[in-house]
Chain A
Amino acid sequence: MRVSMSQEMGTTSVLWAVLQREVSLAMRQKGEVLTPLVFFVVIASLFPLGIGPESALLLRMAPGVLWVSALLAAMLSLQRLFSTDYSDGTLEQMALSTTPLGLLVLAKSVAHFLLSGLPLVLVAPVLGLQFGLDERALGVLVASLLLGTPTLSLIGSIGAALTLGVRGAGVLLSLLILPLYIPVLIFGAGAVEADAAGLGAGGHLSLLAALLVVSLFFAPLATTAALKISLE
């Protein structure tokens, strides 16, 4: 009887189950998706207010400002990536799952991107208009964010795992992770600037894609190692 109740599941279905769970949890706590998004909009809108209506200056600063705002917004929700699973014991079960923890971590990172990175990518063109970026620059901005924000989620997961169960984890997390975000920031903002200067954004975007591929492979491994330390 016991056997008839359940059927073996493939690894992909397990990962799909993790992804679905994360998304449905976020839909139940909509604030978690909306907070980074509103934060992004507010920070990016503060700059024109603070600097004044000098359109040439704003146009020049736009890529950097938008990227820094996106980076900070993406970091906002990182702390919660593993914390509830850690405190309710689900993480222990994940570590003992028949599916390798690295893949489960990857699924969680993908969910984090879908819930915190992707909304930023979608809102960014609207904010870009505020700064007076033209259509072409907006396209490059969206492309760079689309390649860059998954990398932010992946690298961020390492920090989230390392600071698990630590007091004052939020501040520590930013200190650990922000330096690691620098390459993404440089190439992301650089892509828009290079395109505006007529150099073409291809090189920068390729480098962003390369960063994404490297972090896709290494970040889950590093995160898994960090989680195992936290669980001991």
Chain B
Amino acid sequence: MLCGLAAIESGDICWKGVSVRAQVEAFRRELFYLGHLNALQESMTVSENIVFSAALGGLAVAQRDVAELLVQFGVGGRGGQVVRHLSQGQKRRVALLRLALSRARLWVLDEPFVAMDDAGIRMLANLVAKHLNTGGLAVITSHQSVDMGGIPAQILDLSACACQ
């Protein structure tokens, strides 16, 4: 709902003081969303997937930069491999690698820590911390509490709510 995938039943969501419904395109430019699904096409290679999803975000990326990012995210040298052959954790890393390419100010991540090992979680936490330090905003749902580089977060405990 926050991203505009589901219709808003009542009330409104505002971005910079204006309803998101009135500025759909501008809002999408500022938004990065990653849900439970990795949005990776299994029979395409890792770098093809990254280039394509960057294109969906309206950005062109050079192969060299992709290779560099893969190393940075601990999946170096796997650019030419078909996604089907990666492990769950590696897929998740590739999916989250898009964060580094995105220019979005608002990150909406639905359980990004699932299937990640400790190093992966730390890496992601650092990435989020860096994003927050440069004036970004992140909405993250998680079952774990992860330290985001000591930046205070607003925590909404959903277990206390009467969820359906």
A: which residues have CB within 8 A of B?
2-3, 5-9, 13-14, 17-18, 21, 24-25, 28-29, 84-85, 87-90, 92-99, 104, 231-232
Other contacts beyond A88-B39, A96-B31: 8, CB < 8 A: A9-B55, A14-B55, A24-B44, A88-B41, A89-B35, A90-B39, A92-B35, A232-B5
Which stretch in B58-66, B73-81, B137-145, B151-159 binds the other chain? B58-66
B91 to chain A, nearest CB (A): 10
Of listed A13, A29, A95, residue having the most chain B CB within 10 A: A95
Most buried by A among B7, B38, B48, B59: B59
The answer to whether B40 has its CB under 8 Å from any CB of chain A is yes
Chain A residues whose CB sits within 8 angstroms of the CB of B56 once the complex forms: 14, 17, 93-94, 97-99, 104
Given contacts A8-B59, A96-B28, contact A89 B39 (CB under 8 A): yes
Inside 8 A of B23's CB, which chain A residues have their CB? none
Task: Count how many chain B residues have C-beta atoms less than 8 Å from C-beta atoms of the other chain.
Answer: 38
Residue B118, interface by CB 8 Å: no
A to B CB contacts below 8 Å, 14 in the list: A6-B59, A6-B60, A8-B60, A9-B60, A21-B52, A88-B39, A88-B40, A88-B41, A90-B39, A92-B35, A96-B5, A97-B57, A98-B56, A232-B7
Whether A8 touches B5, Cβ cut-off 8 Å, given contacts A3-B103, A89-B35, A98-B25, is no
Contact A7 B41 (CB under 8 A): no
Chain A residues contacting B62 (CB-CB under 8 Å) are: 5
Partner of B58, one of A8, A87, A94: A8
Is B65 within 8 A of A25, CB to CB?
no
Contact B6 A232 (CB under 8 A): yes
Taken together as a complex, chains A and B put the C-alpha atoms of A107 and B42 apart, in Å, by: 21
In the complex, A89→B38 CA distance in Å? 6
Q: Knowing A2-B100, A2-B103, A9-B60 touch, does A96 contact B33 (C-beta < 8 A)? A: yes
CB nearest to B28 among chain A residues:
A98
Query: In the complex, A151 Cα to B53 Cα: how many Å?
Result: 28
Residue ID in chain A nearest B62 by CB atoms? A5
B39–A5 contact, CB under 8 A?
Answer: no
Q: Are A92 and B33 in contact (CB under 8 A)?
A: yes
Residue of B nearest to A94 (CB): B56
Q: Quick one: given A6-B103, A21-B52, A25-B44, are A97 and B5 in contact (CB under 8 Å)? A: no
Q: Nearest residue in B to A104 (C-beta to C-beta)? A: B56
A28 and chain B: residue at smallest CB distance: B43
B101: which A residues are within 8 A, CB to CB? 2, 5-6
